[in-house]
Amino acid sequence: MQETYQLVATVIIISASGVMAPGPLFAATVSSGAKEGAKAGLKIAHGHALVELPLVILIGIGVLTLESLPQFRATVSIIGALSIFAFAALQIRSSLKAEQNTVKSRYGSLLTGVLLTGLNPFFLVWWFTIGIKIISDAYLLWAFWGILIMFGIHIWMDYAWLTLVSSLSAKGARLLSSRKYRALLVGINIVLVYFGVLFVLDYLSAIHNFQI
């Protein structure tokens, strides 16, 4: 049961750091929300999920194939840890100098969510480094269904956050320049470093088991 709680907490914290990041999807949600309100964020989240779910399943299939390799756990653990440290540093730096930006789209909110997800290289790098580690952990805990459970724990945060952002944007709130928002991002990414340390410990444990 403790492993379950730890995995859920890991997915939530790591997901929150990515979901709340001030990137293109966030900026487009601010712009669309000013016109459409909360439904813009909901549609963008739908578009995001349409790209993200197939990607997670494909990565999960890869994990099923590679999990039997003794060095696989060590590899994904250290790559995940290094990626977390780099991601957290970039996020903290970005948060400290965040400015309100918007991305205007010629497409509807749903297609905007699809395009700004599928064409975002940072999104792909995140899932093939940090994401593959939590997918692997979910698989070890709950077998194939763990991949879908992990996705469910992750995706609701996208829906909740993007809907909130579009709602606040419709009311004229400048969320990105808010000190509370920036402080929250810094705090989340500091906690994220802790999970990076846990990934390093997983790496050391995997290396030890491999040597034995």
At 153 the pLDDT is: 93
Residues 6+ apart with CB under 8 A from 146: 138, 139, 140
pLDDT digits (tens, 9 = 90+) for 57-115: 999 999 888 887 878 888 999 999 999 999 888 888 877 765 555 556 667 889 989 99
CA–CA distances in Å: residue 76 to residues 82, 110, 189: 10, 33, 20
* Cα torsion through 197, 202, 203, 206, rounded to 10: 170
At 208 the pLDDT is: 64
At 204 the pLDDT is: 83
Residues 6+ apart with CB under 8 A from 42: 159, 162, 163, 166
Q: Is the dihedral of CA 136, 138, 143, 145 positive or negative?
A: negative
Which residues of the chain are modeled with pLDDT < 70?
A: 97-106, 172-177, 208-212
Residue 165 tokens, joined: 């952002």
| Rg, Å, the chain Cα set | 18
CA–CA distances in Å: residue 18 to residues 13, 23, 84, 123, 211: 9, 9, 11, 9, 35
At 79 the pLDDT is: 92
CA–CA distance, 127 with 39 (Å, rounded to integer): 27
Instruction: Please give the single-letter amino acid code of residue 168.
Output: L
13 C-beta neighbours (distance < 10 Å), count: 15
At 132 the pLDDT is: 92
At 106 the pLDDT is: 67
Nearest to 173 by CA among 94, 100, 95, 73: 100
Q: Are 25 and 116 in contact (CB under 8 A)?
A: yes
The range of the structural domain enclosing residue 133 comes to 1-210
Q: How many domains are there within the chain?
A: 1
At 99 the pLDDT is: 57
At 55 the pLDDT is: 95
